[in-house]
Each structure stands twice: as C-alpha cells, then as structure tokens.
Amino acid sequence: MTGGIEDLVPLITYTSILHPTNDERDRLLKTLFNLYKNPSYQQRQVLLHACLCFAKQSGPLRVHAEL
C-alpha cells in the first residue's frame, strides 16, 4: 500500500464536512491543520484547497462558525 499524509487530507476534509456533531468536526479540522509540522508551499496549497472544499460544501454559516 502506497500513500502518506497527503492521502489523509481528502478523507479528513470530507469526514469533517459530513460529520453531524460540531465537536467532532472541530477535532477533525484541527487534525487537518496539524498534519504537517512545517508545511512546504505545495503542502500549504493542499491545505488551502481542503479549506476551499470545506467552505464550498458546508456553506457560509458553518464556515463562519468553524473556520
């Protein structure tokens, strides 16, 4: 099995979008931002893309409350 941390980003992102409880979504988003200790430019772009996906799928009210 190949993969690494970068494979976790979409899983964490979409799990946080779909999870029904606020506390668990918050924990998942914190996990997402803590995946990389010192993110490179490319890793920051991946995290930015994850945030944009979260925002598009969740809507403005949830984004304001959770990000």
- Name the residue ranges covered by the structural domains of the chain: 5-66
Work out the mean pLDDT of the chain and round it to a whole number: 89
CA distances from 28 to 2, 41, 58 (A): 23, 22, 14
Angle at 31 (CA atoms; ends 38, 11), nearest 5 degrees:
105
| Angle between the N-to-C axes of helices 5-18 and 22-33, in degrees from 0 to 180, rounded to the nearest 10 | 160
Percent of the chain with pLDDT over 70: 93
Q: Would you place residue 30 in the very low, low, confident or very high pLDDT band (cuts 50, 70, 90)?
A: very high
Tokens of 6: 């970068």
